[in-house]
Amino acid sequence: MNLKATRIVLFVQLLTATSANLNDTYYYHYDSTASSPDEVEATVFDPALTATSVNLADTTLRSDENEITILDLEDRPLCGKKSPVYFKRKVRFGEPITVHFCNPNKAKENVVPWIGLFKDRKKLALRRKPSKSMLHAWLNDCNSQFSCPTTTQAGSVEFSATDPASSWYNNFPYHSGTYRVCLMHEIWNSSRHTHEVVGRCKRLTVLPPQDKMTDKAEVAATKYRYKVGEPIRAKFSSPLSVSNQWIGLYRPSNVTGGPPEGNLVCQSLLWAYTGCDNQEGDQLEDTSCAVKKNGGYVQMDESSLDNDPVCYPDEWPIQAGKYYLYLNFHNYEPFLEYT
């Protein structure tokens, strides 16, 4: 990890470093048990057309004088088959996730279809309903968390930092690891509602950040000393930037007196997005900042206080002392990826 530390004072001394942000929050509840192998299907994504066979070397398929494009040779869904979802099975850290779906069931007034992104549990069969603690993000079949005017049989949704918001918290980019994507039905009966998996879920892998994302990134204060109450200006360089990337101000470690280490949850005093130079972001439905910048400046002042209600907010002005700047690549707990 390449830490470019620079001292300033606030009568503040600011050393530079960088930190990562992570915070899993989940919502719905389902039953869970059993196990089953994950299967890869080679089928056609179009519920209106039928075919008895598919040549995996082909890029298109003709049926009833219609032509459709084969989405992917590795993994294609077909309504009524084992899995109604199609997506790129491995994605880079910070890459938006597009999920195509094909709902084999007819629309019903009391059924709301939605697509869920869940943390994976290998021992849980892909046909079983994931638990509430596994849910990471979700969108209804009209690519929104708002009610859909009609039911979509075949379409796509996108999980990213841009609208539509796909979780109650702007927890993008997703941490590296294994997830599962499921087409779900929310079924309303009188005063209660339940959820069920349609067909079977499929696994998705988010790859770890590339080494140069953290090794080549730098952050430094624009001067060595600041007066108490003076805004702090930071300059950053980030060759591989991601949405919701941010810079935070931290106290030294209580143990070593040097740069804080480990999970830095609830430790930032001030913070601002590198792409938006604020905490409000650039989206309408949540406070995500989708803009990615490879370099520039952010300014932190009273409006940059970390007022997360779960933590203990500090007061402005920041007291005199030695501090650290961190460039963060994760946007939810645990905060473990940083430069």
pLDDT (average), residues 253-259: 86
Global pTM value: 0.76
Query: Average pLDDT, stretch 193-202?
Result: 93
17: pLDDT strictly greater than 70: no
Confidence band of 267 (pLDDT split at 50, 70, 90): confident
Distances (CA, A) of 279 to 75, 126, 159, 229: 39, 38, 21, 19
The 10s digit of each residue's pLDDT in 167-176 is 877 789 999 9
pLDDT > 60? residue 53: no
Which has more confidence, 3 or 226? Answer: 226
Instruction: Say what the pLDDT of residue 65 is.
Output: 40
Highest mean pLDDT among 22-26, 45-49, 174-178: 174-178
Residue 202 has pLDDT above 80, yes or no: yes
Give the whole-number percent of the chain exceeding pLDDT 70: 74
Higher pLDDT, 43 or 144: 144
Ranges 15-24, 244-253, 284-293, 330-339: which has the least confidence: 15-24
Q: What is the pLDDT of residue 127?
A: 94
Q: How far is residue 21's CA from residue 308's CA, in Å, rounded to a whole number? A: 13
Domain definitions of the chain by residue range: 12-18+217-333, 25-206
Task: Please provide the average confidence, as pLDDT, over all residues in the chain.
Answer: 79
Q: Which DSSP symbol is given to 169?
A: S
pLDDT at 132: 87
